[in-house]
Chains A and B, each alone.
Chain A
Amino acid sequence: MLNKVLIIASYTAKEIIKSKILLNTLFLGIGLFIVTFVAYSFSYGDPTRVALDFGMGCLSLSSVGISIFMGVSLYYDEIDNRTIYQIISRPVSRGSFLIGKYLGLGSVLFLNIVILSVISLILYFVLGGEYNSLILWNIIYTVLEAFLCLAIVTLCSLLTSKVFSVIITISLYISGHAISGVKLLTFVEKRPALEAIIDGYQFLLPGFYKLNIKDFLLYKNDLSLSYLFSTLGYGATYILALLLLSIFIFKKKDLN
Chain B
Amino acid sequence: MFELKNVTKKFNSDLFTKEFVAVNNLSFELKMGSVTGFLGANGAGKTTSLKMIMDFIRPDSGEILFNEAMGIEKSKILSNLGFLPERPYFYPHLTGREFCIYMGKLSGLSKSDIDSQIQKWGPIFKIEFALDREVRNYSKGMLQRIGFLVTLLHDPKLIILDEPLSGLDPIGRKELKEVITKVNHEGKTVFFSSHIISDVEEVCQNVIFIKDGALFYEGTVEKIIGENSSGMTTITFSENDELSKLTIDSDKVNDQLMKLVQEKKEIIKVSRDRPSLEEIIYNVK
Q: Which residues of A contact B (CB under 8 A)?
A: 4, 7-8, 11, 14-15, 18-19, 81-83, 85-93, 254-256
Distance (whole angstroms) from the CB of B117 to the closest CB of chain A: 14
Q: Determine if B93 and A90 form an interchain contact, defined as CB atoms under 8 angstroms apart.
A: no
| Of B56, B79, B81, B83, most A-chain CB atoms within 10 Å | B56
A19–B94 alpha-carbon span in the complex (Å): 9
B96-114 CB mask vs A (1 if < 8 Å, else 0) is 0010001101111000000
The answer to whether A89 and B54 have CB atoms under 8 Å apart is: yes
Max chain A Cβ within 10 angstroms of own Cβ: one of B102, B106, B147: B106
CB of A86 within 8 A of CB of B90, answer yes
Q: Closest chain A residue to B134 by CB distance? A: A18
> A85 is contacted by which of B56, B75, B93, B94 (Cβ under 8 Å)?
B56
Report whether A256 and B51 are in contact in the complex, using a CB–CB cutoff of 8 Å. yes
Given the known inter-chain contacts A11-B94, A83-B91, please indicate yes or no for A91 contacting B57, CB distance below 8 A: no
B85, CB-defined interface residue at 8 Å: yes
CA distance A18 to B103 in the complex (A): 18
Q: How far is the CB of B172 from chain A (nearest CB, A)?
A: 20
Within the assembled complex, what's the spacing in Å between the Cα atoms of A11 and B57?
25
Known contacts A11-B91, A255-B56; A85/B83 CB under 8 A = yes
- A74 and B88 CA atoms in complex are apart in Å by 18
Enumerate chain A residues within 8 angstroms of B108, measured Cβ to Cβ: 91
Q: How far is the CB of B82 from chain A (nearest CB, A)?
A: 8
Give CA–CA (A4, B57) in the complex, Å.
22
Give A90 to B106 CA distance when docked, in angstroms: 7
Least distance between A212 CB and chain B CB atoms (Å): 35
Contact of A18 with B94 in the complex, beta carbons under 8 Å: yes
A249 to B207 alpha-carbon distance, docked (Å): 37
Is B150 among interface residues, defined by CB-CB distance under 8 A?
yes
Q: Could you pull out 10 A-B pairs where Cβ atoms are within 8 angstroms?
A: A7-B105, A8-B106, A11-B94, A11-B98, A18-B93, A90-B78, A90-B107, A90-B154, A91-B74, A91-B78
B91 — which chain A residues lie within 8 A by C-beta?
11, 15, 83
Give the size range of B's interface with the partner: 20 to 34
In the complex, whether B126 has a CB less than 8 A from a CB of chain A is no
Q: Is B76 part of the contact surface with A, judged by Cβ < 8 Å?
A: yes
Q: In the bound complex, how far is the Cα of B188 from the Cα of A60, in angstroms?
A: 54
Q: How far is the CA of A253 from the CA of B247 in the complex (A)?
A: 59
Q: Which A residues are CB-close (under 8 A) to B105?
A: 7
- How many Å lie between the Cα of A18 and that of B93 in the bound state? 6
User: B93: which of A19, A87, A88 is its contact (CB, 8 Å)?
Assistant: A19
Q: Which residue of B82, B103, B147 has the most chain A CB atoms within 10 A of its CB atom?
A: B103
Inter-subunit contact B78/A85 (CB<8 Å): no
A82 to B57, CA, bound (A): 13
Q: Which residue of chain A is the closest to B87 with respect to CB atoms?
A: A82
Residues of the B chain whose Cβ atoms lie less than 8 Å from the Cβ of A8: 106
Give A93's nearest chain B residue, CB to CB.
Answer: B75
Q: Known contacts A11-B91, A82-B89, A86-B90; is A92 also within 8 Å of B57 by CB? A: no
Contacts of A92 in B (CB 8 A): 78, 106
Once the chains bind, are B79 and A86 in contact (CB under 8 Å)?
Answer: no
Min CB gap B114→A, angstroms: 12
Most central of A11, A81, A82, A256 by chain B CB within 10 Å: A11
Say if the beta carbon of B272 comes within 8 Å of chain A. no
Q: Which of A15, A19, A91, A255 contacts B106 (CB 8 A)?
A: A91
Whether B173 is near chain A, meaning CB under 8 Å from some CB there, is: no
Partner of A255, one of B57, B88, B89, B102: B57
Bound CA–CA A11/B91 (angstroms): 10
B56 and A88: CB pair below 8 A?
yes
B195 within 8 A of partner (CB): no
| Chain A residue at minimal CB-CB distance from B95 | A18
- Interchain CB contact (< 8 A) of A90 among B57, B79, B89: B79
Residue B274 interfacial (CB < 8 Å): no
Q: Out of A7, A81, A86, A88, which one reaches B150, CB within 8 Å?
A: A86
Which of chain A's residues have a CB closer than 8 A to the CB of B57? 254-256
| A158 → B minimal CB distance (Å) | 15
B5 at interface, CB cutoff 8 A:
no
Knowing A91-B76, A254-B56, A255-B56, the reply to whether A7 touches B106 (Cβ < 8 A) is yes
Interface centre among A11, A81, A90, A92 (most CB of B within 10 A): A90
Q: Is B177 an interface residue (CB 8 A)?
A: no
- Measured between beta carbons, the chain A residues less than 8 angstroms from B94 are 11, 14-15, 18
